[in-house]
Amino acid sequence: MLTTYSNELSKDTASFIQTNVPLADKNWFKTGGTARFYCEPSTIAQFQEAIAYATTNNLDLFILGQGANILISDEGFDGLVIRPSLTTIDIISVNNDSALVKADAGVTMPDLINYCLANNLLGLEEFSGIPGTVGGSVYINLHYFEFLLANFLISAEIIHKKDGSIHAIDATWFNFSYNDSQLHKKDYFLVNATFKLTCATTEQTAFAKGRKTEIIRHRAHRYPQVRTCGSFFRNFFPHEVTLEIDNKKIIFVAYYLDKIGIKGSLKSGNAIVSHQHANMIVNLGDATSTDVITIAHTMQQLVYEKFSILPQPECQLIGFSSYPLL
């Protein structure tokens, strides 16, 4: 424990905590209502102060990154939304074949990847083309095919929701699994994370930059790039499914969604299942979060009717007064 806040709020608290702030322009779906309170702390002290404000005023808390994996209720969020604006990246040590890179929670993954490649450090380029901040990416254990962000993270600093204390922890604390981490309990929030990356030659970095470009091209071909949360439902766990092909459990939710024939056709209001991917819902322009929920609910029903299994959201549902899905 390095530091804690006092119960006294500083005189300038109100100056960086705003009221009734729209959230539709702060998430990838471009839907949702307003935050009752909102701030973008740029220092750890401000982050602590914002948490103290929520605690003192008995407010619900939500930590927002780039909003790439969330759906916000049309009624908004009746609490404090904190969008960390801590954006420092540092190389903290280098040896013969690896280096440690420390990045704040508000750093975007594209910026971190570019920083690493500019310094001949490899590994994170596997996540190229995926939107999000370091904070959000650690929260969900960012994944793409067989690559997991947990494979690179070695330590971090977190802030305690209850008393604002800052704790230095190692990777084991996170208890990472598919699409999950200890942060989901929402007792602690990420301040920064340290990643172990591979030192490379100029030639190896050039190859990695080419791979980055190809990954982005591949993602653009397969997935919608705007007004979506990406995959709406998580893949199934092996114990949740019985269907096997070649003696392998079919855990991929997109397989089942493809089979019910909704791609590019299932629509509610101005939201539609993408023609590119059956597990992605797209806002065509002025859709509401209710439109998205209506589609997701129907997707669950259709899969359950055909396969007797129920898809569960990977997308975080924020600000809903009651759980809106099955």
Residue whose token pair is 């009221």: 19
Residue whose token pair is 């939710």: 253
Q: Which of 82, 104, 129 is the last residue of a domain?
A: 82
* Residue whose C-alpha is closest to residue 107's, from 126, 83, 123: 83
Residue 1 lies in a domain: no
Residue whose token pair is 């040590």: 93
Q: Which residues of 80-89 are buried (b: 16+ CB within 10 A; e: fewer)?
A: bbbbbbbbeb
276, 313: one domain: yes
Beta pairing partners, 101: 91, 195
As given in the structure block, the two tokens for residue 287 are 């859709």
Distance between CA 20 and CA 77 in Å, rounded?
9
Residue 244 lies in a domain: yes
What's the total number of domains in the chain? 3
Q: Which of 57, 82, 107 is the last residue of a domain?
A: 82
Helix (H, G, I), strand (E, B) or coil at 177: strand
Residue 2 lies in a domain: no
111, 188: one domain: yes
CATH code of the domain covering residue 145? 3.30.465.10
270, 198: one domain: no
Residue 228 lies in a domain: no
Parent domain of 289: 238-318
CB 150 within 8 A of CB 139: no
CATH code of the domain covering residue 47? 3.30.43.10
* Residue whose C-alpha is closest to residue 253's, from 237, 266, 270, 229: 237
pLDDT tens digits, 121-173: 999 999 999 999 999 999 999 998 889 999 999 999 999 999 899 999 999 99
246, 182: one domain: no
78, 126: one domain: no
Per residue of the chain (326 residues), what is the pLDDT tens digit?
Answer: 344 444 444 545 657 999 999 999 999 999 999 999 999 999 999 999 999 999 999 999 999 999 999 999 999 999 999 999 999 999 999 998 999 999 999 999 999 999 999 999 999 999 999 999 999 999 999 998 889 999 999 999 999 999 899 999 999 999 999 889 999 999 999 999 999 999 999 999 999 999 999 999 999 999 999 999 999 999 999 999 999 999 999 999 999 999 999 999 999 999 999 999 999 999 999 999 999 999 999 999 999 999 999 999 999 999 999 999 99
53 Cα distance to chain centroid:
24
Q: Which of 82, 97, 121 is the last residue of a domain?
A: 82
Angle at 120 between CA 117 and CA 126, to 5 degrees: 45
CB 233 within 8 A of CB 314: yes
Residue 259 lies in a domain: yes
74, 41: one domain: yes
